[in-house]
Chain A
Amino acid sequence: MNNLTLRHLSKTYFDPYAGAHVTAVQDVSLEVKQGEFVSIVGRSGCGKTTLLNMIAGFIPVTGGEILLDGRAIDGPGPDRGVVFQSFALFPWKTVLQNVAFGPRMRGLPDAECERIAREYLALVGLAEVAERYPAELSGGMQQRVGVVRALANNPDVLLMDEPFASVDAQTRMTLQEELTRIWLERRPTIVFVTHDVEEAVFLANRVVVLCKGRVLNEIDVPLPRPRAWDRLIEDAKFKQLSKEVLQRVRAE
C-alpha cells in the first residue's frame, strides 16, 4: 500500500524583511491512504501551499518527516505528480510532448510514450489538439493537459495546488466533474489544495481544514459518486457539509 504519511511536519522561514522567523506549518500529522481523495482547505496564508510544496519535495522540511510507502521522501520525484495553479506546461513542447515528458524521462521507448500520451489525452477529450502548442489552447484545455501530464507518469500520489483557481467558473465546474470521473475510473491518490470550500467538499472523500499552519479538523465526505454539480447544488447533505467546513475555515 502506497500510503502517504506526514508526521509532526513543520516549516519555519526566515523573513528578511520582518527580520524574524515565520512559522508556515506547525506540527501537521496526516495519513492519506492509497486511492483516497483528500482536500486540504484553508484561507490564504494558512500554509496549505507550503505543505504541498514540502510533500512535493520542492522545499525542505524544518521538522518532522514525510513518508511515502514507508520511505522518507528526499527532494522532488516522479512518485509524486504535481499539478500547478499556473499550469507550468512547457511552452516549447506540443501538447503531446508535454504529456509524454514523464514517460520519456522514465526511459520508455518513443512509441510507448506516444501511446500513453494519446491515451491520456483521449481521457480528457484532447486527442484533437495533440500537435498544438500550449499557448494555442484555452486555459481550461491547458489545465486538462496539466492534469493528464502528471497522471501519465503513473505517480503514487497526485498533488494538486489550486489547479482550477485561474480558469472561469463554468470551466472550473466542468474540470471538477472531470476530475471526479477520472478519479472514479483510475483511483489515483490525490491531495488537493484549495481555498474554495465547495470545491473541497465536491471533490474529496475527506476534507482537512488547515488554519495558521495547523490541522484544525478532518471532515469525512460520505457523498455518493459519481458527483455532478446539477444534483449536488441542491443536495441537503452537500450544503450541510459545505456549511460545516466553511465554519471551520472561518473560525480563528
Chain B
Amino acid sequence: MNLILKVWGFYARSAALRSIAPFIPVIALWAIVAESGMFPRVFFPGPAEVVSSFGSLVYKGILPEYLEDSVVRLAVGAAAGLALGIPLGVLVGLSSRAHAMLWPALLFFQAIGDIAWLPILLIWFGFGLTTVTFVIVYTVLFPVVLNTVLGVLSVPIVMHRAAQSLGASHLRIVWEVVLPGAMPNIITGVRNGLGYGWRALIAAEMIVGTSGIGFLMFDARRAGSVVEILLGMIVLGLLWYVVDDWVLVPIERVTVQRWGLVTRCG
C-alpha cells in the first residue's frame, strides 16, 4: 500500500506525467474493450494498432507532411484573423460611432457559421487554399473582435484619466493602456478563435482538402481504415493540448497573471 502511494506521489509530482495521467484509464478501457473481441477488430482497433499506424505513417512521411500543412494553414489564417480582429476590436471598443456602425454587422456575420460559407466559397474560389484560408480567417476573426471589444470596454476610465493627466496622447493611450488592459479578454478571444479555427480547418479539409489532417481522416474513411481515423482524432486532441499548454498558458503567465489581472491561468 505504502509503495503504491509512493509511486503515485512520484507521478503526481511530475508535471508531464500529471497531464498524461487522466488518459491512462481511458486508454486502458479502450484496450480492454478492443481485446475482448466485443466488436470486429476492423471496426474497433486497439491502441496498439493506432500506435503502429502512427509509426508507419510517420515513417512514410505522410503524417508529418499533412500535420505541417494543417498547422501552417491554421497559423497563417489565425495570424490574418488576429491582425484584422484586434485593431477592429479596439476601434469598435473605443469609438461609439464605430460601435453603432459595425456592431450589428458583426453580430449578423458571426451567426453565419464558418461551414455555412463553404457552399458559396466553393463556387467562388473552388477547391483550393483560398477557400480554406477564408474559412479560418472568418472563424478566428469574430471571437477575437468580440472579446477585444469586451476587453477595451473593461479598462477602467480612471486608467485613461491617469494616462491623460500624465501627458499621454490618444495613440499612446491605445498602445500603453488600452491594449494591455484588454489583454485578458484578447487572450480569451485568441484561445476561442484558435479553437474554432482548428475545428473549421479540419471540416474544410474534409470537404475541400488535398492534404492535411482532415483530409487524412476523410481519405481513411474512403479506404475503410478506422485505425487512421482514430489516429487523426488523437492527433487533433494532442495538438490542441500542446498549443494551449505550451503557447497560450505561458503567455498568460508572464503577462496578465503577473500583472494581477487574473489570479490563475490554464
What is the distance, in angstroms, from A90's C-beta to the closest C-beta of chain B? 7
Within B133-184, the residues touching A (CB, 8 Å) are 156, 158-159, 161-169, 172, 176-177, 180-181, 183
B161 and A76 within 8 A (CB): yes
Given contacts A88-B159, A90-B180, A92-B183, contact A56 B165 (CB under 8 A): yes
Chain A residues with CB under 8 Å of B181's CB are: 92
Chain B residues with CB under 8 Å of A88's CB are: 156, 158-159, 161-162
> Complex: how many Å from CA A58 to CA B176?
19
Chain B residues with CB under 8 Å of A135's CB are: 259-260
Chain B residues with CB under 8 Å of A81's CB are: 165-166
Given contacts A91-B260, A92-B255, contact A78 B165 (CB under 8 A): yes
What is the distance, in angstroms, from A229's C-beta to the closest C-beta of chain B? 29
Interface residues on A, range: 20 to 34
| Nearest B residue to A105, CB-CB | B167
| Nearest A residue to B172, CB-CB | A105
Chain A residues with CB under 8 Å of B177's CB are: 90
Selected from A80, A106, A133, the residue in CB contact (under 8 A) with B258 is A133
Chain A residues with CB under 8 Å of B164's CB are: 57-58, 75-77
Chain B residues with CB under 8 Å of A149's CB are: 166
Given contacts A91-B261, A92-B259, A135-B260, contact A56 B167 (CB under 8 A): no
B260 and A77 within 8 A (CB): no
B interface size (C-beta, 8 A): 23
Chain A residues with CB under 8 Å of B163's CB are: 90, 101
- Is A153 engaged at the interface, CB distance under 8 Å to the other chain? yes
> Complex: how many Å from CA A79 to CA B168?
12
20 A–B contacts, CB within 8 A, in A order: A57-B165, A76-B165, A80-B165, A86-B156, A86-B158, A88-B156, A88-B162, A90-B162, A90-B176, A90-B180, A91-B260, A91-B261, A92-B180, A92-B255, A101-B166, A105-B166, A105-B167, A105-B168, A106-B167, A133-B258
Interface residues of B (CB under 8 A from A): 156, 158-159, 161-169, 172, 176-177, 180-181, 183, 255, 258-261
Given A78-B167, A82-B165, 15 other A-B residues pairs in contact with their CB atoms under 8 A: A57-B164, A57-B165, A58-B165, A77-B167, A78-B165, A78-B166, A84-B158, A88-B159, A89-B162, A92-B259, A102-B167, A105-B168, A105-B172, A106-B167, A150-B166
4 shortest interchain CB distances as A-B pairs? A135-B260, A78-B167, A92-B180, A76-B164
